[in-house]
Chain A
């Protein structure tokens, strides 16, 4: 679930469903973007439920991809 602020033209993930569990986003550590060719991707590094998630939004098809999950502990 995400929030789109059309006044500021900004998006923010609100809630993630992963492994049949809902995680409410607590903090967006960083939001950066990059291009692959002329395709624009937005990456959100967020914490939710004591976990870290890296989410990538493909702006061409508006699909979200979960790229990384971590618990912040050494291997």
Chain B
């Protein structure tokens, strides 16, 4: 089963603020004309406003548009509450993204459509009447996803052995999750015009089109075998990107952003019990580029150590930087490799204690003196698959 929160951020905002219900609401990264829309309410969608539009474009379509900026804590709370509800129905729940969950009901008895209705009811009772979700039921995550997209909002659809051919006949190739216009064109050129043709295609035929293992994946996916629930292999790199609302104009301001991003990637790396040997940084804007990379054979254990290494290398610049990236690579299991004079051991000890204090007493309780006159990078939420 796959559960998808309809127009996630916008619906949550409408649930929290009843005065917004029934109105055209969007949640955007920034409220200025260049802000990118992250979620549009179903009323806004009816007017033709979609995720990815710029606020300026959307305002032209709907001058009465209400623009909200993200309230990350609220969205995380809703995500956690829904997960708690789902765990009462099945022990195997995986969070696919901030607005999507996959639930494995293998070995759980009962009618799944009935269970779907009960889940919807529980969500309404716990979070409120305005929260709607689309639920898809299928033999694998892929079919469940296709089913959840069949009716939006507030759908509950099933793809099973009795109706799958009928549904494949009605859908377009691009309605299949994972088939973009380019792949659809490739299939059409080879005579596969619909998902039903795709299903009927032989394995050899698909191999000649895809020329990769993807042919086998699609062959099995369309037949209801589970391909997408595999554990992700350990990550080889981590990166964090931040687009700035107000550009940074000097080295010190840029260092603050780098520090926050180093902490972010450092914590992700720490959760996997890894350390990084390489780090790359980049800041860019109109006619300006500040970048560099360095390798530490001894490894960098956390965000603090990463920042300590890159801080002296951030150059002075003139211009406006609007986008900042930090990436760490060459990951390996944590070694706590020290140096001859014990300097690194001291740094590791101090920074690990600082991390614990920040977790216990709140972000920013302890921070490097180099960014004393600093402002914080606001918390932001990703749309992609959770890692």
Contacts and interface: CB of A to CB of B under 8 A. Distances in A.
Contacts of B359: 37
Interface in A47-75: 47, 50-52, 54, 70-75
Interface residues of A, number: 23
Interface string B324-339: 0000000000000000
B66 interface: yes
Contact of A72 (B20, B74, B78): B20
Contact of A32 (B65, B74, B358): B74
A36 B362 contact: yes
B128 interface: yes
B74 A74 contact: no
A10 interface: no
A72 B73 CA distance: 21
Contact of B16 (A29, A36, A39, A74): A29
Contact of A30 (B64, B74, B358): B74
Given A36-B362, A37-B361, A43-B74, A75 B67 contact: yes
A50 to B, nearest CB: 8
Interface of A: 27, 29-30, 32-34, 36-39, 43, 45, 47, 50-52, 54, 70-75
A71 B17 CA distance: 10
B77 A47 contact: no
Contacts of B74: 30, 32, 43
Nearest to A75: B67
27 contacts: A29-B15, A29-B17, A30-B127, A32-B73, A32-B74, A32-B78, A33-B77, A34-B73, A34-B77, A36-B362, A37-B358, A37-B361, A37-B365, A39-B361, A39-B362, A45-B16, A45-B17, A47-B19, A52-B17, A52-B19, A54-B16, A72-B20, A72-B66, A73-B66, A74-B64, A74-B66, A74-B67
